[in-house]
Chains A and B, each alone.
Chain A
Amino acid sequence: MKTIAIIDYGMSNLSSVVKATKYVAPNSHVIVSSDFNEIDSADKVIFPGQGAAKNCMLSIFEKKLDSVIKKNANEKPFLGICMGMQVLMDFSEENEGIDCLGIIKGSVKKFNNSNKNIKIPHMGWNKIKKNNEHPIWNGIKDESYFYFVHSYLIEPESDANIIGTTEYGGEFCSVISKKNIVAIQGHPEKSSSAGLKFLKNFIEMK
């Protein structure tokens, strides 16, 4: 039986991610963990997150999760969700600026609302446009709707890794992939059938 570890850095409500993962992977062993060995021995890792970047990074360091995240992000299918996507970058503008994990080159910026024409946070259902082929998109239609809740967005240095984009006060990278890493700004665990398919595709990634 395959084990899927969901990283618990202590600041996030994980129940939705756990429930959705169990739903799409009934034959897998789903664990919630902040233990190096447990996470390191899992077959796949999901790194969900919510809240502020600074609290997230402080908890990661406090629980000494940075090394296991960096190691596993290089070794096995690894899925970052929402804040779990943002902190993979080098740096976030949030909370007067905070260094992040530096696993993907680029930074995290606040939505540009100089025209005051969008509400922040970006909250609700929005389309993701597929930018590149990727196994995570198997059976998911282009421009499927996903559920989003966030005030900051990622700006990767290289466009090559962008596999999904979304429009909100401009186009931003909503799904990124680098080798075995996939990360999404939206919440697949709350995105009905498209989101469940996305999670299932991740579970099936080799």
Chain B
Amino acid sequence: MSVTKRIIPCLDVDNGRVVKGTKFVDIIDAGDPIEVAKKYNDQGADEITFLDITASSSNRKTILDVVENVASQVFIPLTVGGGISSVDDIRLLLNSGADKITINTAAIKNPKLVSDASEAVGSQCIVVAIDAKRKDSSSDNVWEIYTHGGRNATGIDALKWAEEMEKRGAGELLVTSMDKDGTKEGFDLELMKEINSKVNIPTIASGGVGTLEDLYEGISVGNADAVLAASIFHFGTYTVQDVKKYLKEKGVNVRITNE
């Protein structure tokens, strides 16, 4: 008996509404964040991640209302990411009811933000997102950090970055393979394995889930502590229950509540 592996549906939020299919198809309105979050909670989600993709900065405060409203009715850990660049942003979200904050580009621009934030609000609240792409020329296991959804290379080595983020007080790492994201081919398992051999904080595997087997491999081969997926849940390919039932049959320790 130990902590269970977590299943985390990820919701993209644009101007206060949950949307889906941001990458390859037109954005489709998928509804009210409270209703969607409740649905996943009822299915047994262990945590819910909101990614604020609102483009206009003047509309960014709508995410605070979303968090406030969801946190008043859904009582599992809520993680929020997207456009967070200061300790003040983090405090506002935590005060609205978020439990953890994902920092991405801002950590690359200013790594000290991770130290300052974990000092100010505690490591348990700080998740650093790592978007990594395998170096083209490299047959070795070398990955580079990218920003802006995989468009901008930073020159930073992903494994060294993971170690630095742990040292600076990150409580968790959300690892997305930019090679796999949106492909439905499964996680980059080598990337997960390598990162997990470098750090001792929990890791969340993300990017590329198409099947139940993919989720299982993220945990069993990639050694991830949690798996995050968006489209398989939003498009109803699988429910969180389906995932947990499958993982349990494979011998993975998951939280099943209705037994």
Of A51, A125, A149, the contact of B255 (CB 8 Å cutoff): A125
**Are B122 and A192 closer than 8 Å at their CB atoms?**
no
Task: Give the size range of A's interface with the partner.
Answer: 20 to 34
Q: Please, which residues of chain A bring their CB within 8 A of the CB of B4?
A: 124-126, 145
Q: Which residue of B has the minimal Cβ distance to A14?
A: B95
Asked whether any CB of chain A lies closer than 8 Å to the CB of B211, the reply is no
Asked whether any CB of chain B lies closer than 8 Å to the CB of A191, the reply is yes
A158 CB, min distance to chain B CBs, angstroms: 24
Asked whether any CB of chain B lies closer than 8 Å to the CB of A118, the reply is yes
Query: In the complex, what distance in Å separates the CA atom of A19 from the CA atom of B99?
Result: 13
Query: In the complex, what distance in Å separates the CA atom of A196 from the CA atom of B41?
Result: 13
Interface centre among A20, A122, A124 (most CB of B within 10 A): A124
Query: In the complex, what distance in Å separates the CA atom of A124 from the CA atom of B8?
Result: 12
Q: Please, which residues of chain A bring their CB within 8 A of the CB of B99?
A: 16, 190
Q: Please, which residues of chain B bring their CB within 8 A of the CB of A167?
A: 1-2
Query: In the complex, what distance in Å separates the CA atom of A16 from the CA atom of B95?
Result: 9
Asked whether any CB of chain A lies closer than 8 Å to the CB of B257, the reply is yes
Asked whether any CB of chain B lies closer than 8 Å to the CB of A189, the reply is yes
Asked whether any CB of chain B lies closer than 8 Å to the CB of A119, the reply is yes
**Are A147 and B77 closer than 8 Å at their CB atoms?**
yes
B63 CB, min distance to chain A CBs, angstroms: 15
Of A15, A51, A118, A120, the contact of B2 (CB 8 Å cutoff): A118
Q: Please, which residues of chain A bring their CB within 8 A of the CB of B237?
A: none
**Are A125 and B6 closer than 8 Å at their CB atoms?**
yes
Query: In the complex, what distance in Å separates the CA atom of A77 from the CA atom of B204?
Result: 39
Query: In the complex, what distance in Å separates the CA atom of A145 from the CA atom of B4?
Result: 9
Task: Give the size range of B's interface with the partner.
Answer: 20 to 34
Asked whether any CB of chain A lies closer than 8 Å to the CB of B181, the reply is no
Of B2, B77, B121, the contact of A13 (CB 8 Å cutoff): B121
**Are A124 and B46 closer than 8 Å at their CB atoms?**
yes
**Are A124 and B76 closer than 8 Å at their CB atoms?**
no
Decide yes or no: A196 and B75 within 8 Å by CB, A50-B124, A123-B124, A124-B46 being known contacts. yes
**Are B122 and A50 closer than 8 Å at their CB atoms?**
yes
**Are A19 and B122 closer than 8 Å at their CB atoms?**
no
Asked whether any CB of chain A lies closer than 8 Å to the CB of B82, the reply is no
Interface residues as binary, A103-135 with B (CB distance below 8 Å gives 1, 0 otherwise) = 000000000000000111111111100000000
Decide yes or no: A121 and B257 within 8 Å by CB, A127-B1, A195-B75 being known contacts. no
Q: Please, which residues of chain A bring their CB within 8 A of the CB of B125?
A: 13
Q: Which residue of B has the minimal Cβ distance to A51?
A: B122
Q: Please, which residues of chain B bring their CB within 8 A of the CB of A190?
A: 75-77, 99
Chain B residues engaging chain A, CB cutoff 8 angstroms: 1-4, 6, 41, 46, 71-73, 75-77, 94-97, 99, 121-125, 171-172, 200-202, 225-226, 255, 257
Sample (30) of A-B pairs whose CB atoms are under 8 Å apart: A15-B97, A16-B71, A16-B97, A19-B97, A22-B72, A23-B75, A51-B122, A118-B2, A119-B202, A121-B171, A122-B3, A123-B172, A124-B3, A124-B202, A125-B4, A126-B1, A126-B2, A126-B3, A126-B4, A127-B1, A145-B4, A149-B124, A168-B2, A190-B75, A190-B76, A190-B99, A192-B41, A192-B257, A193-B257, A194-B257
Chain A residues engaging chain B, CB cutoff 8 angstroms: 13, 15-16, 19-20, 22-23, 50-51, 118-127, 144-145, 147-149, 167-168, 189-196
